[in-house]
Amino acid sequence: ADCAELDARVSVCRACPRLVQWREEVAAVRRAAFADQQYWGRPVPSFGPPDARLLIVGLAPAAHGGNRTGRIFTGDRSGDWLFAALHRAGLARQPTSVAVGDGQEMIDSRVVAAVRCAPPANKPTPDERNTCRPWLVRDLQLLRPTLRSIVVLGGFAWTALWPALRAAGYPLPPRRTPFGHGATVNLAELRIFGCYHPSQQNTFTGRVTAPMLDVVFARAMEHIAGV
């Protein structure tokens, strides 16, 4: 399967009962309140070309962001921060990501979520994280020929990534590196970078700033350029 087929297949997944119910409930309520809004209300596929050298791993779609627009980090505050940073780094065509059809395009990079359905309170359970892992594994396998850097947004995605990398055939280092902003792991031809999630809470409190995001993406691209 190629990336387009993978994206199509994930968008009809119903493996997590709690998340299926939540994503559809949110969509139904909002659809009723805003008749002019199209609510996606389904799993949100990855976004970006199949031969990307950089992968960005987020947590899960936001109830009124990706779950509404059908595109990851699109139509919510975290996405505003992320796409502004990606654009500054030359990794996204436009500085904003508003809706499918806005002309936004990833450049040499692909964005995925560790869990592809919007969870209540932005908190998937460990079971849901594990159930969704095969989708992440498929993304890693498809990208493997070109993939050189991974930027991991937040501790949840950091935890989700390692077993997925192992399942995709990467030899894991014997010791786990704890998540932190600036944490770096070398794995075969890959370099993996920890980055605080640009969630509203983190950006609002200044835990993560635009220059902090810029440094991480610059380091990820330096590695790509150097391999």
Least distance (Å) from ligand SF4 to the CB of residue 222? Answer: 33
- Region of 14-22, 69-77, 98-106, 190-198 interacting with ligand SF4 (CB under 6 A): 14-22
User: Which of 1, 4, 10 has the alpha carbon at shortest distance from 113?
Assistant: 10
Which contiguous run of DSSP H or E holds residue 191? strand 190-195
C-alpha atoms less than 13 angstroms from C-alpha of 199 in its C-beta half-sphere = 16
Candidates 6, 13, 85, 195; binder of ligand SF4 (CB under 6 A) is 13
Residue 10 engages ligand SF4 in binding (rule: CB under 6 A): yes
Residue 187 engages ligand SF4 in binding (rule: CB under 6 A): no
Beta-strand ranges (E) seen in 5-143 are: 54-58, 109-113
Q: Distance between CA atoms of 24 and 21, rounded to whole angstroms?
A: 5
Binding residue count for ligand SF4, defined by CB under 6 A: 15
| The pair of three-digit structure tokens given for residue 16, joined into one six-digit string | 């997590």
Residue 27 engages ligand SF4 in binding (rule: CB under 6 A): no
Residue 20 engages ligand SF4 in binding (rule: CB under 6 A): yes
Strands 184-187 and 109-113 turn out to be: unpaired
Least distance (Å) from ligand SF4 to the CB of residue 26? Answer: 13
Residue 128 engages ligand SF4 in binding (rule: CB under 6 A): yes
Q: Distance between CA atoms of 100 and 66, rounded to whole angstroms?
A: 10
Q: Distance between CA atoms of 135 and 116, rounded to whole angstroms?
A: 8
Nearer Cβ to ligand SF4, position 53 or 110?
110
Residue 213 engages ligand SF4 in binding (rule: CB under 6 A): no
Q: Which residues bind ligand SF4 (CB under 6 A)?
A: 10, 13-16, 19-20, 43, 115-117, 128, 131-132, 135
